[in-house]
């Protein structure tokens, strides 16, 4: 029985995932490292610090301290979140759908809280969420399940009674490891990635979420 719903943010509620990826390419290009779209699939859904560590370990060299690069990466995202990020089609409707079922709704994101707050305030979403949680509070981000386990705890639901909605494979694995039901909404370039078969249901838009899908997952 589903007793709580947990949304990821980037790539699920907002179209900010391409903004993250474009900025990732830019900051590493400035260091002489070329990242392709295919390569970025490996870091999609990771926290900023874990993304930077991932590429530093694969392209050894003389670079700025990882902490300073993470700071620069996230600093560039502030303006993009205020000016370029948009709500995904069907985001408001999907959240309201679960609220109308009297289910508590949470947000669990790999983004730091100061960026989460920009999205919540800019689009007036804060009122919908009983819990807002960032993986920055965890020793490890997604695909480690702790961000989902602790969000469920704050929500007052057993993890196995939660439904997570994710766009990245790392996020799907994190929710799965927490024993949650998972709806995956991969980006256009990942729609044929068979790894998303780990999810209970795959959709292409939040507009597809309806009572039929919910009842199927609830049983």
The string of pLDDT tens digits covering residues 35-55 is 998 899 899 999 999 999 999
Provide the residue ranges of all domains of the chain, joining segments of one domain with +.
4-15+86-218, 17-83
Q: What pLDDT is recorded for position 193?
A: 86
d(CA 117, CA 171): 20
Mean pLDDT to the nearest integer, 204-209: 97
CB atoms within 10 A of CB 12: 25
pLDDT at residue 178 tops 90:
yes
Neighbour-count burial of 25, counting CB atoms closer than 10 A to its CB (0-12 exposed, 13-18 middle, 19+ buried): middle
Q: What does the pLDDT look like over 127-137, one tens digit per residue?
A: 999 999 999 99
d(CA 174, CA 195): 13
CATH, domain 17-83, list 1.10.3470, 1.25.40, 1.10.150, 1.10.1740: 1.10.150
Q: What does the pLDDT look like over 89-118, one tens digit per residue?
A: 999 999 999 999 999 999 999 999 999 999
Q: What pLDDT is recorded for position 125?
A: 96
CATH class of segment(s) 4-15+86-218: alpha beta
Closest Cα partner for 45 from 110, 134, 136? 110
Q: What does the pLDDT look like over 138-158, one tens digit per residue?
A: 999 999 999 999 999 999 999
Position 191 confidence tier, pLDDT thresholds 50, 70, 90: confident
CB contact at 8 A, 106 and 7:
yes
List residues with catalytic annotation. 8, 10
Q: What pLDDT is recorded for position 188?
A: 82
Q: What pLDDT is recorded for position 112?
A: 96
């Amino acid at each position: 029985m589903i007793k709580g719903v947990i949304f990821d943010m980037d790539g699920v509620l907002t179209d900010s995932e391409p903004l993250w990826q474009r900025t990732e390419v830019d900051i590493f290009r400035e260091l002489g490292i070329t990242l392709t779209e295919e390569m970025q699939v490996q870091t999609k859904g990771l926290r900023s610090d874990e993304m930077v560590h991932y590429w530093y370990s694969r392209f050894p060299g003389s670079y700025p301290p990882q902490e300073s690069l993470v700071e620069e990466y996230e600093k560039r995202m502030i303006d993009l979140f205020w000016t370029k990020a948009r709500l995904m089609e069907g985001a408001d409707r999907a959240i309201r759908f679960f609220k109308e079922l009297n289910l508590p709704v949470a947000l669990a994101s790999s983004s730091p809280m100061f960026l989460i707050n920009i999205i919540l305030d800019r689009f007036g979403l804060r009122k919908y969420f009983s819990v807002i949680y960032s993986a920055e509070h965890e020793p490890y981000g997604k695909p480690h399940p702790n961000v989902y386990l602790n969000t469920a705890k704050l929500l007052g639901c057993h993890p196995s009674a939660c439904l997570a909605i994710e766009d990245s494979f790392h996020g799907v694995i994190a929710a799965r490891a927490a024993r949650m039901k998972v709806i995956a909404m991969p980006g256009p370039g990942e729609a044929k990635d068979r790894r998303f078969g780990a999810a209970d249901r795959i959709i292409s838009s939040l507009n597809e979420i309806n009572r039929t899908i919910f009842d199927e997952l609830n049983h």
